[in-house]
């Protein structure tokens, strides 16, 4: 162990009992019932995917998480790939918009590179990318409309996540990716697939149902199919 730590740096290999605790720290998501379902909240230093249909409240949930990390004294960054950030709405949800770091990238490579650098710097505790579907590869932007660009975004995300998962763990920075439901055309039925696969700690299907009832419109939010790779501490 001493030889390996001497070659690759202190802490490259260590005994779990001397690592200062094996449990992953969490912070509130802004939704108490969701925190209970996740075993304490969103994990620090991990990648979380919130996916679902459009206009189902994914951004709202992410903004609540940003507000919670700011209340704890942390810094948050929003990568607004959709260029649709609403400061007034965010402030109404409790986000400190004056201290929120916002990036509105020109293309997907720029968005992910900035997010990775901010993650490695240790300057932020939470980075939210809104959304994966808006991370358009540079080659697609520079190419002509109608050109076939097969698999560019999938390769871009796969390469980025291989780098960012380790960097997030070392820096203790949580990465939240918002993603819309996608369908494989080759299947005869609707089929969701994720670009993240093995890099996730949590994945949550986020959906809403609206009920029109005069004089109010009631909107129920459902978070289903929670995939967890972390467990809560048992007594």
Residue-wise pLDDT tens digits, 87-135 = 999 999 999 999 999 999 999 999 999 999 999 999 999 999 999 989 9
94 to each of 40, 73, 177, 220, how far by Cα in Å? 21, 14, 20, 21
For 14, 23, 24, the CA distances from 20, given in Å and listed in that order, are 11, 9, 11
| Measured distance between the N- and C-terminal CA atoms of the chain, rounded to whole angstroms | 33
Judging by DSSP bridges, how do beta strands 126-130 and 42-43 pair with one another? Answer: unpaired
For residue range 41-73, what is the model confidence (pLDDT) as tens digits? 899 999 888 888 777 888 999 999 999 999 999
CATH architecture of 35-139+150-182+189-228: 3-Layer(aba) Sandwich (3.40)
Beta strands in 53-97 (DSSP E): 76-80
Distance (Å, rounded) from C-alpha 67 to C-alpha 118?
19
Closest CA to 200 of 171, 173, 175: 175
CB atoms within 10 A of CB 178: 24
Query: Three-state secondary structure along 128-165?
Result: EEECHHHCCCHHHHHCCCCCCCCCHHHHHHHHHHHHHH
Residues 6+ apart with CB under 8 A from 103: 77, 78, 79, 80, 111, 114, 115
- Tens of pLDDT, residue by residue over 7-22, are 877 767 777 666 555 5
Reported pTM: 0.81
């Amino acid at each position: 162990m001493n030889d390996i730590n001497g070659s690759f740096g202190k802490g490259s290999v260590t005994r779990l009992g001397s690592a200062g605790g094996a449990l992953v720290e969490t912070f509130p998501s802004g939704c108490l019932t969701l925190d209970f379902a996740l075993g304490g909240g969103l994990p620090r230093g991990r990648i979380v995917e919130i996916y679902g249909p459009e206009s189902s409240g994914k951004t709202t949930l992410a903004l609540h998480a940003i507000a919670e990390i700011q209340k704890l004294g942390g810094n948050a960054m929003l990568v607004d790939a959709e260029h649709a950030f609403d400061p007034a709405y965010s402030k109404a949800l409790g986000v400190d918009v004056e201290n929120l770091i916002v990036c509105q990238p020109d293309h997907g490579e720029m968005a992910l590179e900035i997010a990775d650098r901010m993650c490695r710097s240790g300057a932020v505790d939470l980075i939210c990318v809104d959304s994966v579907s808006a991370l358009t590869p540079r080659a697609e932007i520079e190419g002509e409309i109608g050109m076939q660009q097969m698999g560019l975004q999938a390769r871009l995300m796969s390469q980025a996540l291989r780098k960012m998962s380790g960097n997030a763990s070392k820096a203790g920075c949580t990465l939240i990716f918002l993603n819309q439901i996608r369908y494989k055309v080759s299947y005869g039925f609707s089929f969701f697939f994720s670009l993240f696969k093995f890099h996730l700690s949590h994945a949550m299907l986020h959906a809403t149902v609206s009920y029109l009832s005069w004089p109010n419109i009631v909107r129920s939010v459902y978070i289903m199919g929670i995939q967890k790779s972390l467990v809560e501490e048992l007594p």
